[in-house]
Structure 1
Amino acid sequence: MNATLPPLGWLGIVRLGLVQTALGAVVVLTTAALNRVMVVEHALPATLPGLLVALHYAVQMLRPRLGHGSDQGGRRTPWIIGGMAVLGLGGVLGAVAVAWMGTALVPGIALAVLAFLLVGIGVGAAGTSLLVLLAARVAPARRPAAASLVWIMMIAGFVLTTAISGRLLDPYSAPRLVAVSAGVSLLAFLLALVAVAGIEGPSRAAPPAAARTAFGPALREVWAEPVARHFSIFVFVSMLAYSAQDLILEPFAGTVFGMSLGETTQLSSVQHGGVLAGMILIAIVGSLSGGRVAVLRGWILGGCLAACALLVALAGAGMAGATFPLRESFFVLGLANGAFAAAAIAAMMQLVSQGAEGRQGVRMGMFGAAQAIAFGAGGLAGTVVLDLGRLLTGSAEGGYVTVFLADAGLFLAAAMLALRIGRAPGQRAGAGNVPPLMGRQQA
């Protein structure tokens, strides 16, 4: 990145956030609407969309390799634009594939596999380079607010797309599904194209000879960095705990408390409102603290411990019965999740430059791959533990107790890992807010 460029102002941060909005718009249509069509309109087993979504997460293990490519080229915007193009193509092919399943199941599934692979690659390429560019162009004090803002804008992409496309898709027909998906993909690509135009500045000089290495040695070099390796492990454990709740909370309220579909959907909305509030909170306190890693570490630790406590409380909710404050518990759980997740993303942006120069893309890719793998495994793990708990205890309520306690254990493990975020081995808790390399200027 050109060192003479001034840090981005709020307008520039919002512009980059629009890329995240565009990315979220394509992803939510692919993972939500197509899922519904396969299961409801085509009456296919729910395992099929589950495997396709898992595939789109699994292929994001390529994030470090994609980040390495942007390191070597010296620019991030071509990877953002290229990634959005691949993502959009995957979204359109996914709709074609699902429509095709209605008349030719096997060819439709084969095309869907290709489509979801493209979606995963596109998300990995665009998302990794976007976060590296954001970290490089945003002043450290503004990174917590920037992290929260772009995440909120991605959620806004989810909401807008599902609200608008939901109206356009009724009544369902295969041509309508393809047309809506193509329209969303095209608009998302154009939005991202406009958002990044000129924001990176002129090309920087080619990376130094030491940085022009093959991917394998570059990855081993980054993995050997204690701070980067430890943070990647933390991201995996914490996001595994975060995503394990997704498929559990609404069925829990319906099964144990006898709530209707509308009531559990409202509870889910309350929880998501808590997540949003937690992210806004981190945007404020993180900015007021100057984006110091020590402050972010404290909020990550507090969020994980609070989520752990809430899950233990939910495990005992069935015994309390109707007197249990379920709505309040869902909100506070969302608040804890939002706070720790936003603080973790802000810390990720601060730590991406700690270590060998010219490896920011590999480092961010490693963090992103850990998150993607955890998200892909978390939902499945939660449902498997729920079924095992039901089998072992002989009751549905016992199954939920089992999965909530297991998830609480994951959050507790994440909290223990959070104690060392940003600290080199042997560094004492009071040895400083920022590790020695954190003051290094970004490329």
Structure 2
Amino acid sequence: MVTSLFLPKTIILLCVMGHVHMGDIDPFADSIPFAIEWSGPATSAENQLSEDTVILPMITKDQQRYECHYVANQLSTGVSSKAGDYSGPSAKEILEAFATTTACSYRVESFWTYELCHFKRFRQFHEERNPKSDNEESIVHPDYELGNYDENEQSEVVQHGEFFMENVKHPYLAFTYADGTLCDLTNQPRKTTVQYICYEQGRGDLYQIKETSTCEYTATVLVGELCNHPKYKPIREKSKIISCHSLDGAPEKPQMVLDIDNILSQKPQKISPPKGSSVVTITKAEQEAKRTGIGKREDNLFLQRFLSGEHCLQGAAGWWSYELCYGKTAKQFHVEAGKRVTNILLGKWDLDAHLTWISKHPSKNMNKHNTRRYISQFYSEGDFCDEIKAKRTVEVKLKCTQMGGSSHAVAIYLVEPSTCQYILTVESPILCDLVDQADDKGLVS
């Protein structure tokens, strides 16, 4: 019988914990790092312990004596599929097949966009309209190559347990993308290590990008297909075992533990509802909806009202506030004493103008090889801007994203990358189905 280390009121467990090096325990992990095994009287074989074994004599409040021991350098064993009998394609072959259907992956941030074209190149860029030009095709692209893939100079690096996601170790296969844009600070070309990890729901998502040192980067990509190779499946930790043996006729398990087990095993007393009433079973999703007042029905209603233009989204940053009425207008305004005192039209929806813009900016197209989780729409003919002698325009991005565990949250923010040229981003898990259903022009029927 194995008992969790975290049983309440079990003094013996606290004593053991006092001898464990607490620096080896991740306080944020969801797994149980230790478990106690009650093994009865020790056999002669079990009395022959290794030099690394720590022995802890214990006496319970009922004066029952036990001897507990654990191996000081005992390592957790990962729970993962065995790769010994695997005869399928190699991890690299799996990734190469994945790259034929998902040519490039994207990550969009407030200013930068990252584009990873698998086994080709990795770049960082920002689109900014040139305010000195009236030609719509004249666009400045601050563009940095973060690395290029070269098969002849490639060395595969496989490391286990180096990357943690959701408190689970993920083995990864890493490739080096070198010879990027020259870095002014180091006078060396930029380079990136691209790590591919198994994640069942992964569709080539660029999960994380870090600058590990000046102009050197690490990018982590989630690929569901890689989970077909057992060597790259997530490694989940087993609990370290602490064995306790009874002494001097004590029972196999202390009486105090038996008492706790008895309490935990008791079924809650069934309470009959008052006559004429009924019992309603509430699911976990319904409990969340009851707590937040938001459920699937409310999400769908919000989406319907938003897409019809009936419900407008608003955000704010400092002095300015902004508003998107989908399929109608995008505005910027200032509020004083509860009233709008300044109104600026950033752009209004026009299908023909959007299609013209999309045709001139093919990178904004959605296609079957594109795994990015957002769509772009162009709102034009805003208020006249004196600085650029042209009307304001705004690119509206509807982005599917996770919001820190909340499935109902909606975020909206506005940036002005160049004078009177704006990007308005709306992101939420609610938009995921909408993004998936959009056509290659970013339109939703």
TM-score grouping bracket, smaller chain normalisation: under 0.3
Structure 2 length-normalised TM: 0.23
Structure number having the greater strand percentage: 2
Higher relative contact order (CA 8 A, sep 6+): 1
Structure 1 length-normalised TM: 0.23
Quick check: which has more Rg, 1 or 2?
2
Structure number having the greater helix percentage: 1
